[in-house]
């Protein structure tokens, strides 16, 4: 699985990068054949409390999944985005089984 983290108008700390890679890596438990993961990090203007936006796009052989969350911290937003993707992958896998 290839993970690409893109930050818009700022530099990502290696600590945040490792956190995101660890969280995203857990998605392989729910779907084996994840080809590519693209994570985009951005600070939403104006500067408010909840202004850290994380968007995660997963590419699998026959589809794509996307989740985006805006929270107080990038870690929180990433964790919730991964949780949303986990649910999407589980539903997709269930549909595949029922065919």
How do beta strands 63-71 and 36-43 pair? unpaired
First to last CA, the chain: 26
Note down the domain range covering 34: 2-97
Q: What pLDDT score does 35 carry?
A: 94
The CATH number linked to 31 is 3.30.160.100
What per-residue confidence (pLDDT) applies to 48?
75
Rounded to two decimals, the pTM is 0.92
Tokens of 40: 């985009």
Element (H, E) at 86: helix 74-97
What pLDDT does residue 85 have?
97
99 residues of the chain, pLDDT tens digit each? 899 999 998 999 999 999 999 999 999 999 889 999 999 999 988 777 789 999 999 999 989 999 999 999 999 999 999 999 999 999 999 998 887
The CA-based angle 10-20-47, given to 5 degrees, is: 40
Number of structural domains in the chain: 1
Residue 41 CB neighbour total at 10 angstroms: 22
């Amino acid at each position: 699985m290839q993970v690409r983290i893109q930050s818009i108008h700022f530099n990502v700390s290696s600590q945040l990068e490792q956190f995101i890679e660890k969280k995203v890596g857990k998605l392989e438990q729910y779907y084996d054949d994840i080809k590519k993961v693209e994570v985009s990090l951005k600070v939403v203007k104006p500067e408010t409390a909840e202004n850290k936006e994380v968007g995660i796009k997963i590419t699998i052989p026959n589809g794509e999944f996307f989740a985006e969350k805006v929270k107080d911290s990038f870690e929180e937003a990433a964790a919730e985005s991964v949780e949303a993707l986990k649910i999407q992958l589980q539903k997709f896998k269930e549909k595949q089984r029922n065919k």
